[in-house]
């Protein structure tokens, strides 16, 4: 059990670090692209278009780690071992996450919220930074529209997939057939 506890702690640390890196990536790439495009006209502002993809990548890694933690928690809760305190804690945490947070913790809201925010804001910021027209089918304005739309759709799809995987894990444990 100590190995699983250590694994949980390490995974949570990595997930927390990834969320910090997400902020640094958004701030660094966004700030650098704005800064470079002010000094020298060119295509530095196009770097903004990669921000939704970078956010999605970090979200994907965080979601993988969250599912891993969920699997460990379910194993501790339903596994055959003598550590009653851990079992009781996992049952308690499961009730809290299901009823109080309704499966959307503040961490999830921050993770998905930032990706959605960046994906939406990238359109006007990218277009204004380059001084382009708002017409969505022109270059490079279309790039920002596509990047923003793909960012929103990928964030929503990943959240939906993540929630279905959590439900499937719960169903596996309770003996119901997963989706």
Between 84 and 154, whose confidence is greater? 154
- Out of 26-40, 57-71, 132-146, which region has the weakest mean confidence (pLDDT)? 26-40
**Residues with Cβ < 8 Å from 123, sequence gap 6 or more?**
144, 145, 147, 148
114-138, pLDDT tens digit by residue? 999 999 998 888 888 777 777 777 7
Q: Among 158, 131, 134, which residue's Cα sits nearest to residue 64?
A: 158
pTM above 0.85, yes or no: no
Output the pLDDT for position 38.
56
Res. 43: pLDDT tops 70: no
- Euclidean distance between CA atoms 51 and 34, whole angstroms: 13
Between 80 and 62, whose confidence is greater? 62
Output the pLDDT for position 179.
57
**Residues with Cβ < 8 Å from 97, sequence gap 6 or more?**
103, 105
């Amino acid at each position: 059990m100590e190995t699983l506890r250590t694994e949980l702690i390490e995974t949570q640390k990595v997930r927390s670090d990834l969320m910090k890196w997400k902020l640094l990536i958004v701030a660094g790439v966004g700030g650098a692209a704005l800064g470079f495009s002010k000094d020298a006209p060119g295509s530095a502002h196009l770097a903004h278009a990669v921000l939704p993809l970078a956010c999605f990548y970090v979200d994907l890694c965080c979601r993988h780690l969250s599912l891993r933690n969920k699997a460990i928690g379910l194993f501790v809760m339903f596994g055959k071992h003598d550590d009653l305190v851990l079992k009781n804690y996992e049952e308690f945490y499961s009730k809290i996450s299901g009823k109080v947070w309704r499966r959307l913790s503040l961490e999830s809201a921050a993770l998905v919220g930032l990706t959605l925010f960046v994906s939406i804001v990238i359109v006007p910021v990218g277009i204004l930074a380059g001084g382009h027209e708002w017409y969505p089918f022109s270059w490079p304005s279309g790039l920002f529209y596509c990047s923003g739309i793909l960012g929103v759709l990928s964030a929503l799809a990943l959240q939906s997939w993540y929630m279905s995987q959590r439900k499937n894990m719960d169903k596996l444990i309770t003996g119901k057939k997963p989706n």
